[in-house]
Structure 1
């Protein structure tokens, strides 16, 4: 019985009774919160069978007054101690036992010294002279290859890694890495907003600056995690099931689905001014940037795959938060997403050997962009007779054993070629809590990231705009796509947004 709350009467991982009224607990506390929704269940099982590890959001913070003297570690611990209780799901642990219904357990406390780590950069971030931060990339790749199975049931299923800037105390990048069952991408941003506010508070009061941080944060058994999607949305199923178009004979989807799933990751950070110019160009072509970006990735893949490749299937995640009660989901960490697929044909580009064409040819970008926009509108317009939108996640209600369904895909072709997850704009809190005389922490560059999904597309591109940059995170499964192809796509994105100046204007006499 999804969503039902239970009283905890045991301190061991156990099942007091069979069926929906089972009382389950974690080893050390008062754990059971409730059963999971399908989105949470998918992530919990995928993590359990090593198909998926975690997602992440890295945000650079800088104190507005660098002359302020403080202990960075103490400030971070105090900020985390204040931010964590605002999101009860951070105490939750997904439990996958001998049951087809994963459920949430609750940790009685979190030791911040185990959940937070501090790393110093070995040199100032150089961004390779081209928007690449290799040291951050290496850290994120390592994190996305590290599951939460170590210390499972005693440690939280999230981590906060503080990458301190070289030679300074007042600048660092906070990398929040979380189990996907507890939050979608919007939820990661919500945590960072809470963390930034708490940073300002912890750096404001002189008494707070000199007080020793508390390292143990206690959970409150009365604090409920956010309702899952099924509790807020009826997830209607259509009478007629959609016909699976199937892969075309020469559709590229990388290597077959395989384990182990090793994540490879690299990023690209570009000035926000380039995104503004791109947005204006999208308006001129009457398409949204969210439609143009997947089209760009498709074009770059076509440029670097064999000419015999005839089709690519793009997976596009979408947020459902706009269809849900704002009082329930605004400012709340939770999973409220869906996704749909679009097949993009090489023949639509109406070109010959595209490997010889320019990656920034607008005629080749906007043709697919318009198709993506049309399909996106069709997805959102597909509503049930009651007016509730149909969602693809609803079909997972018909799968009783998701673990068996996932493992059955091993050795099979992938159902998609690539994914583009556009997270929009990272918006920091409007008004920090601290006064102007304090060392107020400001959010700067952002970078969204995630692990590779064993059953997903060979390449995943996550996009997030901040106040200082537009961040592209490129994830791929080792062996599923060539490293050289990924690097060509990354460089192609950079050239498209920031083309090299090939012609120098002659000096005027």
Structure 2
């Protein structure tokens, strides 16, 4: 396809360029979503059960179903038909990709357990999108087949960070689920499924505008007070003083000593009974479920990851709110990251006091967090200067990291809307959201996704960033234990 045939959609915004440069430097790569589906009446007729592994018959049986659902999704989400032109220049552009070959975007694998799903997600997070060709799409799909059963598949979407400001778990998976459900409902009672076998593997996508960059939707102008503070601090204090901190890390090593940056991931399930207890306790204690989860993670980190020196400080990042769908109508508190600091000494005040403090500081700090994103306007657009900026950050802090935790997504998936659909041919078993760790970001990234009455957490980190590796398992178990205690009328102290 000639370059002249490719239409420009728009330039990347500041935040999107930030994600792109990190991808170019292999500092982070992508976001993954995974949903397990079950349909006894339909999948059994297409024979996905096998004692010999993933064979061509299974792929041939599932391919038309997946292609049909994906085709509908692509036509409803124009952002799935874009690539990036000049990704390593100061002015990268989103371009329209008019023809999509599904056979290049979809692959099949075997997923029969959470452990196997963890392994596949780890592999996908390490696989950076190669954007050397502008028609390379910014997403891919892995269809996991449980060959021990006749009724279960897992669909994984993996997509580039630069898409995350306008498309996410909800918009991708809700459309895909509804399409899959309609296909099964229409065809499950038809013995001859010849109409499905004729589904094309090529999708022609008409040109359309995509979501606007967040820079245009949020007031990210730095206040004079915040700008002056930043200028004065940088002018008066040498970089070695600015970089010195008493923030806790999760290991004694420095990132330049670690050669293995492979992603490691753990999936944790919190059941509906415990969630209902936590919701009840949040009302009693005048806090929120968001604050409870965040506080439990901080306390668990204090016990399992951090040096228990009381002069140390825990630093975490968390979202103000979550954009659920790709739409330009967002509030002024969307997609903003709030940095929360608390000294280990203050954790001795008890779990509920810290939870209420977090809730209060989050409410007061939202606008300041929005303004902080404005500094991206003042950073050079030259790609190599971004690289120097990130490489310097890597050298300043142990493991190149300042924050101990990042909790970027605490979301709820409601594919049926307010009312559960009565005509549901496909059952959703569970769902997971994860994102690749940032080489110059926090030590551990935690994503939480509620579906039904329970939720799943993913804990993602770089191999070598948590030392020794047993600390991660201790951290997860401590998190579980704290939630169990506070759910049952208890409190928890810092030590």
Specify the SS of the correspondent of 1:220.
coil
Instruction: Return the offset for 1:114.
Output: 1.5
- For residues 322 and 284 of structure 2, the distance between their equivalents in structure 1, rounded to whole angstroms, comes to 28
Instruction: Report what 2:303 is aligned to.
Output: 303
For residue 9 of structure 2, give the secondary structure of its aligned residue in structure 1.
Answer: coil
Deviations 1:39-72 (A, max 9, x none): 2111111101111110111111122635862433
Q: What is the Cα deviation at residue 134 of structure 1? A: 1.0
Shift of 1:327: 6.3
Q: 1:378 aligns with which of 350, 364, 371?
A: 364
Question: What's the TM-score once normalised by structure 2's chain length?
Answer: 0.80
Q: Which runs of 5+ in 1 are unaligned?
A: 1-9, 13-24, 126-132, 351-362, 384-388, 500-509
> Structure 1 residue aligned with 2:129, among 136, 148, 163?
148
Report which stretch shifted further, 447-456 or 483-492: 483-492
* Alignment counterpart, residue 443 of structure 1, candidates 403, 417, 428: 428
User: What SS is found at the alignment partner of 1:411?
Assistant: helix
User: Relative to structure 1, is the Cα distance of residues 447 and 98 closer, same or farther in structure 2, using a 3 angstrom cutoff?
Assistant: closer
Tell me how far 1:432 sits from its aligned partner: 11
Report the 3-state secondary structure (helix = DSSP H, G, I; strand = E; otherwise coil) of the residue aligned with 1:328: coil
Cα offset, 1:378, TM superposition = 0.4
2:478 aligns with: 492
In structure 1, the partner of 2:389 is 405
CA root-mean-square deviation: 3.1
How big is each residue's C-alpha offset from its partner over 1:310-343, in whole Å with a ceiling of 9 and x where there is no partner? 1111111233759x9x96348xxxx961202011
Query: What pairs with 1:87-166 in structure 2 (closer than 5 Å)?
Result: 87-97=77-87, 99-121=89-111, 123=112, 125=113, 133-149=114-130, 152-166=133-147
What secondary structure sits across from 1:348 in the alignment? helix
Gaps of 5+ in 2: 47-60, 234-241, 486-495
Match of 1:72?
A: 62
| Per-residue CA distance 1:448-500 (angstroms, 9 max, x = gap) | 1111101101111111111263111001122222222111111122223446x
Q: How many residues align?
A: 440
Shift of 1:367: 2.7
Compared with structure 1, are the counterparts of its residues 266 and 320 closer, same or farther at alpha carbon in structure 2 (3 Å cutoff)?
closer
- Counterparts in 2 of 1:498 and 1:347: CA distance versus 1, 3 Å: closer
Residue 176 of structure 1 pairs with residue 157 of structure 2: yes
CA contact (8 A) 1:257 1:409 kept: no
Aligned position for 1:283: 283
| Structure 1 or 2: more helix by fraction | 2
- Deviation larger for 263-272 or 99-108: 99-108
SS of 1:114's equivalent in the other structure is helix
Q: Does 2:404 correspond to 1:417? A: yes
Partners of 1:418 and 1:457 within 8 A in 2: yes
Q: Does the CA-based 8 Å contact 1:228-1:336 persist in structure 2?
A: no
Structure 1 counterpart of 2:458:
473
My pick for the range that moved more, 187-196 or 313-322, is 313-322
Are the counterparts in 1 of residues 298 and 314 from structure 2 also a CA contact under 8 Å?
Answer: yes
In the alignment, which of 334, 337, 342 is matched to residue 335 of structure 2?
337
Structure 2 residue aligned with 1:263: 263
Mapped pair 1:250 → 2:230: no
